[in-house]
Copies of this chain bind each other. A is one copy, B any other.
Amino acid sequence: MDAIGRKRWAIAEGYIPSESAFSDRALVSHETACILNAGDNDAQVRITIFFANREPVGPYRVRVQARRTLHLRFNDLDDPQPIPRDADYASVFESDVPIIVQHTRLDSRRAEIALLSTMAYAEA
C-alpha cells in the first residue's frame, strides 16, 4: 500500500486521571495515542511531552513496525520518566515515515466509563 499520513502530529489535550472505578487494564482510566503505520518501512517515532509549568520531557522513542498499528498508552511511558497523573500535558509526535495519529481517553473516574477521541493535528 502507498504510504499514507504525515510525519509530525500534535495533541494539545492530555490528562490521565489517577482515579478509576475499575482495576482491569481495559477499563482503568487511560489516554492512548493510536498510531498507524500503513507503509512498508518501520517508523521511528520520537514523542515530546509538554507541561503547564516546566520544560518538556523527551524524546520518548517508539517503533511502529511496517503495516502495523500501535495503540500506545501514555500511562505506560516511563523512559525518560513517567507522565504524572492528574496533570495537564500535551504531546508532539515526529516520525521518519508517514503515520497517522489519533487520540483517545477512556475515563473511569466514576462507575461508568466516558470516552473522547479526535484525530490529532497533522503537519508536513
Complex contacts, A48 vs chain B, CB 8 Å: 1, 38
Q: Are A121 and B5 in contact (CB under 8 A)?
A: yes
Q: Are A114 and B117 in contact (CB under 8 A)?
A: no
Dominant SS among interface residues on chain A: strand
A60 lies within 8 A of chain B by Cβ: no
Q: Which residues of chain A from 3 to 40 have any CB-CB distance to chain B below 8 Å in the complex?
A: 4-5, 8, 10-15, 17, 26-27, 32, 34-36, 38
Q: Are A36 and B12 in contact (CB under 8 A)?
A: yes
Give A56's nearest chain B residue, CB to CB.
Answer: B67
Contact flag A121-B119 (CB < 8 Å), given A12-B36, A69-B51, A114-B114: yes
Mask: chain A, 96-110; 1 = CB below 8 Å from B; 0 = not: 000011111101011
Complex contacts, A104 vs chain B, CB 8 Å: 13, 116
Give A32's nearest chain B residue, CB to CB.
Answer: B13
